[in-house]
Amino acid sequence: MRDTYRFSYAFDTGDMDTETVYAFTQAVQSRIANAFQTAYPDRPVALSMDHLTLTKADFNAVYGGLLFVAVFLGLVFIMAMVLIIYYKQVSEGYEDQQRFAILRQVGMSDQEIRRSIRSQVVLVFLLPLAVAGLHTLMAFNIVRYVLYIMALQDTYLYAWTSIGTFLVFAVFYLLVYMKTAQTYYKIVRPGVS
């Protein structure tokens, strides 16, 4: 078996654009390969070069597209979920309109109606939020191991981004809940805002 030589060269190239870096690495790689081929004509030459600018460009090309797709699909699914829950509540409001009219006739106050609507609507909204939080908590270790395989080993960063994402989702969910409860109340109590 032939001896294997490993060499590592580092250059401080300063700040260069991607095209210049690509041309530079190709020129350096060609010169080094020619020098080794001349010095050791009986040995094959395998050369690999990397540059921070090229690595960043590759990283942005791969993960930038994935980030866009993930955010886009996340927004689509959130909007679909919001619309499904909103229109479900609105249709239930029209179904409950007669029931609340009867309750109002027997003496139920507007404040009691609002409290009843709030408790009815909050269950529909809090249950999916609680299940999402539980799913995130249960999948935490599995996702952490997958991220570890992909060389993303900062568990605290993953934990805080998960918590932050859940809180943003919860705030968005709360806004939808408030709008839905308001619309539901307008349906069951016409003429009152």
pLDDT at 89 > cutoff 90 = no
84, amino acid identity: I
pLDDT given for residue 2 in this prediction: 59
For residues 104 and 67, give the distance between their C-alpha atoms in angstroms, rounded to a whole number: 51
Q: In sequence order, which residues have a C-beta less than 8 Å from that of residue 57 and are 6 or more positions away?
A: 18
Average pLDDT over residues 116-135: 84
Helix 52-105, helix 110-149: angle, nearest 10? 160
DSSP code of 191? T
pLDDT given for residue 4 in this prediction: 64
Q: In sequence order, which residues have a C-beta less than 8 Å from that of residue 122 and are 6 or more positions away?
A: 177, 181
pLDDT given for residue 5 in this prediction: 66
In the block, which residue shows the tokens 């404040």? 111
Cα dihedral value 146, 150, 153, 156, nearest 10? -60
pTM of the model: 0.61
Q: Give me the residue spans of the domains in the chain.
A: 1-50, 65-188
